[in-house]
Amino acid sequence: MSDVIHDMTLLRKPFREQVEALLGMLAKENIPLAVYETVRSPLRQSLLYAVGRVETEPHFGRTITRARPYESAHQFGLAVDLVFRINGKWTWEEPEWGLWDRMQELAKAAELETLSFEKPHVQIPNFDHDRATMARGPTYVTGWLEWVKQTSVG
Ligand SMILES: [Zn+2]
């Protein structure tokens, strides 16, 4: 339940189509960004949230997300992380200056939202985690993937 999931079919529609449109635009411009992560389990979200927040750990102070479990659009099939894929390897360093900026522009053109503090992140505009969580019902870890599968159909 803490693995990285990159299955596009688990994303909700029409968000999924918007991401596909963005990927098409990126391919057209030969920008080597690929889908690194689509949906993310609440457990993995809590593990990522802890990074940089444990005083006794080496990366203390260097956090990687501001979202707790169910605060990220990833738990709702409404976000993806696009990372550079070069020679079969993932890299968070842009191979050429300005490619992250260009991705942000193209995402906007696809009517998607990006975050200035998390370069790879693309989500539906105006994601409201409180509203999404209310719609989800009680937040529990067991059954999350089944729920995501249900919401991605149709
Ligand atoms: Zn993200």
How much distance in Å is there from the Cα of 65 to the middle of ligand 1? Answer: 8
CA–CA distance, 47 with 66 (Å, rounded to integer): 12
Q: Which residue has the tokens 């080597």?
A: 32
How much distance in Å is there from the Cα of 38 to the middle of ligand 1? Answer: 8
How much distance in Å is there from the Cα of 123 to the middle of ligand 1? Answer: 8
DSSP per-residue string spanning 62-98: --S-SPPTTTSGGGGT-EEEEEEEETTEEESS-SSTT
pLDDT digits (tens, 9 = 90+) for 22-54: 999 999 999 999 999 999 998 999 999 999 998
How much distance in Å is there from the Cα of 146 to the middle of ligand 1? Answer: 21
pLDDT digits (tens, 9 = 90+) for 43-87: 999 999 999 998 998 889 999 899 988 889 999 999 999 999 999
How much distance in Å is there from the Cα of 13 to the middle of ligand 1? Answer: 17
In the predicted structure, residue 148 carries a pLDDT above the cut 60: yes
In the predicted structure, residue 128 carries a pLDDT above the cut 80: yes
In the predicted structure, residue 149 carries a pLDDT above the cut 90: no
> Which region among 23-32, 103-112, 140-149 has the lowest average model confidence (pLDDT)?
140-149
Yes or no: say if 26 and 112 are a contact pair by the CB < 8 Å rule. Answer: no
Q: Which residue has the tokens 């080496």?
A: 58
153 versus 37: the higher-pLDDT residue is 37
How much distance in Å is there from the Cα of 57 to the middle of ligand 1? Answer: 23
CA–CA distance, 65 with 75 (Å, rounded to integer): 13
CA–CA distance, 50 with 30 (Å, rounded to integer): 35
Q: Domains plus CATH for the chain?
A: 8-146 (3.30.1380.10)
For helices 99-109 and 15-28, give the axis angle rounded to 10 degrees. 140
How much distance in Å is there from the Cα of 96 to the middle of ligand 1? Answer: 21
